Amino acid sequence: MTPPVYEKKATALLFVDPYNDFLSEGGKIWPRVKEVAEEVDLIANLKRVDSAVRGAGIRVFVVPHRRWQPGDYECWCHPNPTQRAIMKRHSFARGEWGGDWHPDFAPPSRATSSSMSIGRKAASPIPISISSSASTASAMSSSSGCSPIPASSQPAAMRWSSATM
């Protein structure tokens, strides 16, 4: 089977939620992911993926989860358990260290970012390579190869990418 070929100008890596709270010792979410992150050497693998993609001339977009700030979710009638936990522990708090980018994965200072998320995304950063000319996209995790994403997921992923353009 021949591996897929992606056009560089129509492909990007979407790097979801590279916050200190997820990826750094001392982060509010780190204790929940630490064991697996260390077992699969997550940071080193994410660095390799990022470096390979950039080295191939493919764009990288950092896709942020909403940063907590006072008042978030307080008027919601039915927050889900994840949103309740974010309210309680102030995960990814705007203006705090945990809500800042992990230093190895921060977008360039000239990049812009959105203060709002487009829904709740994955619980851990998963780079996603999307080709707009294909019917599928590939999700690359640090510990596995690529797996197809249905074409129906692409429009949402493309909207996510525009959040940091």
Q: pLDDT digits over 39-53, tens only?
A: 999 999 999 999 999
Q: Give the domain range for residue 21.
A: 8-67+102-162
Mean pLDDT (the chain) is 74
Q: What pLDDT score does 160 carry?
A: 37
Q: Dump pLDDT digits (tens) for 75-88.
A: 889 989 988 888 88
pTM of the model: 0.62
Task: Indicate the pLDDT class of residue 115, thresholds 50, 70 and 90.
Answer: very low
Q: Does a structural domain hold residue 22?
A: yes
Q: Does a structural domain hold residue 76?
A: no
* pLDDT over 60 (residue 154): no
| 87: exposed, middle or buried (Cβ count in 10 Å: 0-12, 13-18, 19+) | middle
Q: Which of 41, 63, 72, 165 is nearest to 121 (CA)?
A: 63
Q: Does a structural domain hold residue 78?
A: no
Decide which of 117 and 27 is more confident.
Answer: 27
